[in-house]
A and B are shown apart, each in its own frame.
Chain A
Amino acid sequence: MTPSLDITGFVCPMTFVRVKMRLEAIAPGGRLLVVLKDQALKNVISSLKTDGHTVVGVSRQDENFVIEIEKKA
């Protein structure tokens, strides 16, 4: 099962810091689901792109977004 991280309780910069930290525990090419609010989307996704990771899926969960990240191989 894909591990999951809920960052809806955090504000920038802890949103993308939490994602970065969680990704460190994942093997290259592995996946992570992140539940986040609208206002965290830009900084989290742009930081993921900068670090070379890929967002492979996007879905909604109530008023939040869920993004599925594939860690850089």
Chain B
Amino acid sequence: MKDADYAELKKGGMMRQREEGRFSVRLHVAGGGLTARELAAIAAIAERFGRGAVHLTTRQGVEIPHVAAADLAAVKEALAESGIGVGVCGPTVRTVTACQGSAVCPSGVIDAAALAATLDTTFYGAPAPHKFKFAVTGCANNCIKVEENDLGVKGWIEPCWHKDGCNYCGICAAVCPSRSIAVSTDADTHDLDVGTCIGCGDCIAACPSGGMQEKGKGYLIYAGGKFGRTPLLGRRLGKVLRTPEEAVETARQVLDFFRAVGKPKERFGDTLKRVGFDALESHLAHHGGGHR
């Protein structure tokens, strides 16, 4: 087999192994969600065409290693019969990772799994200057680590202060992990900085008098994160989005921006370092959507 053939196979999720003639077949999984039936099908295929083992990837995916080159087409067909697609590699939108979100987790603020499924349907495999990774996490606890991704979405609870309910006890300031609240118990002043608020909702949960209340739930976007050899943490955009549709639309605009200004083989975080984070903010400002 020629190198060009290997490259083509890799783009389609068939990764050449160290062992001659064997491939690890990457499956298409979104948000780490698989049905028991799909798992059974994967197990049967791994038994039949691999060596009875699967590899769980770092991005909640599944690979079936040790498949012979001659069996690749048959594996793809067998997977398709069970409704399982083959994954992607190369300069494309990759596996979308997600926690279980509000559909399952008591801490969940947004339906992370549903949004991950929509992002996957909309963008998976789409071309980009370099690999592009999405992640969705249901709340400020950030189990999925969105800042490690090219684009991350995080559920947040926006607090608001109600003067009438406040007795200036200072509990909200004491529990705030981002020190976004300052209260003077003597002068009866209360200052809330929503710009630095991480949206955990602790101030609302702890407030004994109704002074801190929930204004609404939303979607924070983080851009430009990656891991690999030279890690970068994604930075929070100023926009706070109110609906999953707005989050998907903003993801589209961010991807458009990357396609317009990114260089081939340049990760998005490096693009942002080169052109400036403000260039992304202003691109988004000109394309509407979002609050603040």
Residues of A whose CB lies within 8 Å of any CB of B are 38, 41-42, 45-46, 49, 54-55, 58, 60, 65, 67
Contacts and interface: CB of A to CB of B under 8 A. Distances in A.
A45 B203 CA distance: 11
B206 A45 contact: yes
A19 B167 CA distance: 23
A40 to B, nearest CB: 10
Contacts of A45: 171, 205-208
B208 A42 contact: no
Interface string B200-212: 0010011111000
A66 B264 CA distance: 60
Contacts, number: 32
Interface string B158-197: 0000000001011100110000000001000000000000
Given A41-B171, A41-B175, 8 more contacts: A38-B175, A41-B174, A46-B206, A54-B208, A58-B167, A58-B171, A60-B170, A65-B174
A45 B169 CA distance: 13
A25 B133 CA distance: 55
A65 B171 contact: yes
Contacts of B209: 55
Nearest to A38: B174
**A42, A60, A65, A67: most-surrounded residue (chain B CB, <10 A):** A42
A49 B201 CA distance: 15
A67 B169 CA distance: 10
A26 B181 CA distance: 34
30 contacts: A38-B174, A38-B175, A41-B171, A41-B174, A41-B206, A42-B175, A42-B202, A42-B205, A42-B206, A45-B171, A45-B205, A45-B206, A45-B207, A45-B208, A46-B205, A46-B206, A49-B208, A54-B208, A55-B208, A55-B209, A58-B167, A58-B169, A58-B170, A58-B171, A58-B208, A60-B170, A60-B185, A65-B171, A65-B174, A67-B208
B227 to A, nearest CB: 31
Nearest to B207: A45
Contacts of B171: 41, 45, 58, 65
B105 to A, nearest CB: 17
Contacts of A65: 171, 174
Which 5 interchain pairs have the tightest Cβ spacing?
A: A55-B208, A58-B169, A46-B205, A42-B206, A38-B174
A60 B171 CA distance: 10
Nearest to B185: A60
Nearest to A54: B208
A45 B206 CA distance: 5
Contacts of B170: 58, 60
Interface string B227-267: 00000000000000000000000000000000000000000
B22 to A, nearest CB: 50
A6 to B, nearest CB: 18
A45 B174 CA distance: 13
Nearest to A48: B208
Interface in B55-71: none
